[in-house]
Structure 1
Amino acid sequence: MDQTGERLRILTGVAHIAREALGSSLLNTRTLPRRTLVFLYARISEDPRDRRRGVNRQMSDLRTFSEENGWEVGGEYVENDVSAHSGEERPEYDRLMADAIEAAREPGVRVIVAGYHPSRLWRRRVERAQAIEDLRHAGCWVAFESGGLFNMAKASDRSQLANLGESDTAESEVKSERVARAALERAQEGRANGAVAYGWRRQYECDARGQISGFHDVEDPVQAGVVREIVTRLLAGGSLLGITADLNERGVPSPGAGMQLKRRAVGQNADGSLWNKTSVKKLALRPANVGLRVHQGVEYKAAWPALITDEQYAQLRNLFAERAVVRELPGARKHLLTWGEVATCGPCGSVLRVALKGNASRGRKQPTYVCDASGCVGRNEEALDRYVGRVVGGVLSRPEAAEVFRGDDSAALAALERAEGLKARQEAAADDYADGIITREQLRRITAKLAKQITDAQNEARRLRPAFDLDAFDGLVGPRSAETWEALEVPQQRRVLDGLGLRLRVHPVARRGPGFDQSTIELHWARTGD
């Protein structure tokens, strides 16, 4: 045998020995006892009453599925009334993936993520693709009770799983488009979307066979009364905290009463019957209250009856827009003339605050309005408040005083919107400076100029907006004005002053001695320019 033939024989023998050794190694690896851990996930998109029947059925079938295959359950994860298509958070799904990937790191363990159907695990392409990639790196498997076992380490299995899920995504997207089109049609017709809103009750319409063919919403006398009460009290100067506490103390059920809420506000009880200041504010500011149906930012005329007037709605919007600007909480006000534009120091123009002043050895110190900047002036709080009350009473005793409170709602809102637009321009200028488009000096000049325009727009809105609804103040204008004024709380009295546009400048006293020197109080009416 020549040398070449001998080398071929040796190499052939070596290859045969290597194949036997490799085959023995693979056989031993495949026959090693493996522990299979399965992580079970169940999900239902809609279950507003939280009955959990669907997820319970899914989990029961998944347990049987695991038992039939001889798999050990490593964990169970359930999400009820949670959509996988909308992109909302799924904390149990996140926990499932983390636990499965962690378990796969243990040697000799095969990990399977199991769901009832691919659509229960994933609906969105991006989420499914990310999961497939994560499970591939971890060496996990995916199984479904409805059929299918996929090894994420194999490209063919990954491709099959991705293609299988694509039909679920397409189905969700088609359904979403169909639902969106139907929602737009309902909005254009002014019909409600979903459950009847607080303040109305639903009446169903039936055809000749007695089957429901439609519905319309009518006013609920009790709930509508609560809405009107909240609106009236807010326009009369009531605070959100005060109204909320009163509603809860009286046991008035909130809009969420009797519902099993997915997320409860702080302090909310199990049946959702308590009010909070956020729910009170939202209820008062709903466009639905004036018969408006809003869909994706567009307003449509609603098919249900309005609960309040357009004027009241505009006043409420102005009221809360103003509060956002001045950061004033009406329920926190304890003094009539402190802080703000109503009363200022004559010499320096600063606002007033209250301090205890007087000689303690000759009598107790008295609450006194003083200049906040440097104490230029001071007036006994009780005396100055009494004087203001006499002035207001004299003005309001005349029947024509009602005209003073009438404002221009649309112009006030336009002024506030102009102020917001100017603020946006300020922010854009700051971004331009950060990007090197403008210099520091240009930014300073732009900011200063816009700041003045913003202040002017906000002042114009305050001048134009109506202070409150006169219907909430029975007897404020007319012969009982002084009596009504005295009965008002301090925040309500301040609202009256804002509505009248009364401004006071307090000057230093010209003489010493007892009594209140009203000649040192300069009056100005902002609404009339006098």
Structure 2
Amino acid sequence: MGVAHAARESVGFSTVNTKTLPRRTVVLLYARISEDPRDRRRGVNRQMADLRGFAEENGWEVGGEYIENDVSAHSGEERPEYDRFMAAAIGVAREPGVRVVVAGYHPSRVWRRRVERAQAIEDLRHAGCWVAFETGGLFNMAKASDRSQLANLGESDTAESEVKSERVARAALERAQEGRANGAVAYGWRRQYEYDARGQVDGFHDVEDPEQAAVVRDIVTRLLAGESLLGVTADLNARGVPSPGAGRVLKRRAVGQTDDGSLWNKTSVKKLALRPANVGIRVHQGVEYKAAWPALITDEQHAQLRNMFAGRAVVRELPGARKYLLTWGEVATCGPCGAVLRVATRGNAKRGKKQPTYVCDGAGCVGRNVEALDRYVGRVVVGVLSRPDAADVFRGDSTAALTALERAEGLKARQATAADDYAAGLITREQLLRITSTLAGQITEAQSEARRLRPSFDLDAFDGLVGERAADSWEALGVAQKRRVLDGLGLRVRVDRVSRRGPGFDESTIALRWARTDGWPGTRQETLG
């Protein structure tokens, strides 16, 4: 007689008066595996096969099968099949003349968290259900003693999970402090394994992958040059460049993605460009550590990208969907009311065709022909870019950034001193961990401040933008790229009302401000409020 069968006999399935027994015993089967990244389903299939045999051995009618593959019961992530499993059990239990058994392979396959297990015990108690496990154990949820036994049995599983979680977390922190990668090698690098004298793997380190690293640098350079995420994404797919997820076996793929996962989307492009890993930073629980792998781009490029996207989030810029130079963000405003500009078709159809016109987005206070205003702004910008000192405008003032970096280095030195004090027996291990953790947070803040204070424009991404070739370079740029130049110069345009009516473009009604200069000749300089 098996353990499960003996347990069944002990709780009265065979000794209860047959006149009081329900006419049917329905069992619902649940199988779960925590990790199966390749979705092979071997573990859950074995569990379900054993559960079917378990139900047949006891003569139970199978009312449903529920499988959850590669899903953790300890982390708190959603388990839709478990929810369906519980709802079905409670629903079937309402039918007259039916005893319901919920069955799993082992208690740990059904519950890991105390809260979830306690709620299930209470729900099944009200429904009058039983709980059974193929590895042994049958519990009547109507009896307090059985509920207590099930809770105690599950507590050991919860404790085991928590101990394992703490052990894994400590190992993850150690890897982060050493700058080592966590998990699979990231896009842009390749893994080189180290072997001991017996030929067994003794460790690894990540080195630059020339082909993938070139893709990362190309994406960063093009975004800094003003190209849109949509444009860069479309070009990568058109050229057949495999995405970071190409060839990986995944349970779910984004809508429109191919079976082999080779297509890029704008979200993956943005995430790849903004990764701290690109500049050799390892992030663990919000704290930054120096990575053991080589950087792919410079700190300045990373800071410029972060600043650029942060600015777009504030003003809701959508450069990939914009057609005109002065219609998104707040680069151009209405003089009378301060509203931003939009484009509308204006003009007298009888005297000539209507033209795209910049108009006030508020009360329609002002309006200017799009072509004329863009041409005027472009002429002024080219005049500025042609100056011998134009490059200085884009470099900005790095003094504050250097101060923040020096503060970060000082904090790192304090960390090293604390480690020396621990080695000398001057402080305890607990004190060392507390000091290290506190200083790590302060170092992260200082490094983030340094990146934020660096210039947000990469002049190297614009070949020939300043100097003698400025006019040709400006004309060759797209709208989004020209807008990046205006932002890099800190240009603000105010459009005032015209004082006279008639043909021609009145430059005197356009006021310009340069945020990082003391004023450029040939433009009307005013404080634009």
Structure 1 residues 310 and 33, CA gap change in structure 2 (3 angstroms): closer
Structure 1 distance, partners of 2:481, 2:383, is: 18
Structure 1 distance, partners of 2:506, 2:186, is: 57
Amino acid at match of 1:528: T
Aligned to 1:293: 282
RMSD of equivalent CA atoms = 2.6
Q: Could you tell me whether the CA contact under 8 Å between 2:22 and 2:99 is conserved in 1?
A: no
Aligned to 1:60: 49
Offset of residue 29 of structure 1: 4.9
Structure 1 range deviating more: 491-500 or 503-512: 503-512
Say yes or no: does 1:273 pair with 2:262: yes
Q: Could you tell me whether the CA contact under 8 Å between 2:303 and 2:456 is conserved in 1?
A: no
Match of 2:104 among 115, 126, 133: 115
Amino acid at match of 1:355: A
Structure 2 distance, partners of 1:143, 1:82, is: 21
Q: Could you tell me whether the CA contact under 8 Å between 1:318 and 1:409 is conserved in 2?
A: no
Amino acid at match of 2:320: G
Percent of counterpart pairs with the same letter? 86
Specify the SS of the correspondent of 1:362.
coil
Offset of residue 302 of structure 1: 0.5
Aligned to 1:183: 172
Structure 2 distance, partners of 1:27, 1:340, is: 77
Say yes or no: does 1:224 pair with 2:246: no
Amino acid at match of 1:407: G
Render the CA deviation track for 1:301-341: whole Å, top value 9, x for unaligned.
Answer: 00011111111111111111111111111122222233544
Structure 1 residues 157 and 471, CA gap change in structure 2 (3 angstroms): same
Render the CA deviation track for 1:204-232: whole Å, top value 9, x for unaligned.
Answer: 11101000011111111122122112211
Aligned to 1:482: 471
Offset of residue 389 of structure 1: 1.8
Aligned to 2:24: 35
Structure 1: where are the runs of 5+ without partners? 1-25, 415-460
Say yes or no: does 1:94 pair with 2:77: no
Aligned residues: 457
Offset of residue 261 of structure 1: 2.7
Aligned to 1:193: 182
Offset of residue 248 of structure 1: 2.1
Offset of residue 514 of structure 1: 5.3
Render the CA deviation track for 1:444-463: whole Å, top value 9, x for unaligned.
Answer: xxxxxxxxxxxxxxxxx9x9
Alignment of 1:349-428 (within 5 A): 349-408=338-397
Amino acid at match of 1:483: D
Aligned to 1:106: 95
Aligned to 1:248: 237
Structure 2 distance, partners of 1:100, 1:298, is: 45
Q: Could you tell me whether the CA contact under 8 Å between 2:188 and 2:216 is conserved in 1?
A: yes
Q: Could you tell me whether the CA contact under 8 Å between 1:113 and 1:141 is conserved in 2?
A: yes
Offset of residue 509 of structure 1: 4.9
Amino acid at match of 2:239: R
Amino acid at match of 1:69: N
Render the CA deviation track for 1:6-59: whole Å, top value 9, x for unaligned.
Answer: xxxxxxxxxxxxxxxxxxxx9755565632211111111100011111111111
Structure 1 distance, partners of 2:43, 2:128, is: 30
| TM-score, normalised by the number of residues in structure 2 | 0.81
Aligned to 1:263: 252
Aligned to 1:329: 318
Amino acid at match of 1:353: R
Say yes or no: does 1:496 pair with 2:494: no
Structure 2 distance, partners of 1:29, 1:409, is: 87
Aligned to 1:436: none
Structure 1 distance, partners of 2:374, 2:321, is: 18
Structure 2: where are the runs of 5+ without partners? 1-14, 404-449, 520-529
Amino acid at match of 1:324: A
Aligned to 2:418: none
Say yes or no: does 1:316 pair with 2:305: yes
| TM-score, normalised by the number of residues in structure 1 | 0.80
Structure 1 range deviating more: 486-495 or 377-386: 377-386
Q: Could you tell me whether the CA contact under 8 Å between 2:315 and 2:330 is conserved in 1?
A: no
Larger radius of gyration: 1
Offset of residue 518 of structure 1: 3.4
Structure 2 distance, partners of 1:36, 1:120, is: 22
Bigger helix share:
1
Q: Could you tell me whether the CA contact under 8 Å between 2:93 and 2:100 is conserved in 1?
A: yes
Q: Could you tell me whether the CA contact under 8 Å between 1:50 and 1:81 is conserved in 2?
A: yes
Offset of residue 346 of structure 1: 4.5
Q: Could you tell me whether the CA contact under 8 Å between 1:315 and 1:409 is conserved in 2?
A: no
Offset of residue 488 of structure 1: 0.6
Structure 1 distance, partners of 2:489, 2:469, is: 17
Match of 2:33 among 33, 38, 44: 44
Amino acid at match of 2:258: N
Aligned to 1:164: 153
Structure 1 residues 150 and 488, CA gap change in structure 2 (3 angstroms): same
Q: Could you tell me whether the CA contact under 8 Å between 1:55 and 1:80 is conserved in 2?
A: yes
Q: Could you tell me whether the CA contact under 8 Å between 2:31 and 2:105 is conserved in 1?
A: yes
Aligned to 1:202: 191
Match of 1:304 among 270, 290, 293: 293
Offset of residue 507 of structure 1: 4.3
Structure 1 range deviating more: 364-373 or 469-478: 364-373
Structure 1 range deviating more: 230-239 or 341-350: 341-350
Structure 1 range deviating more: 65-74 or 40-49: 65-74
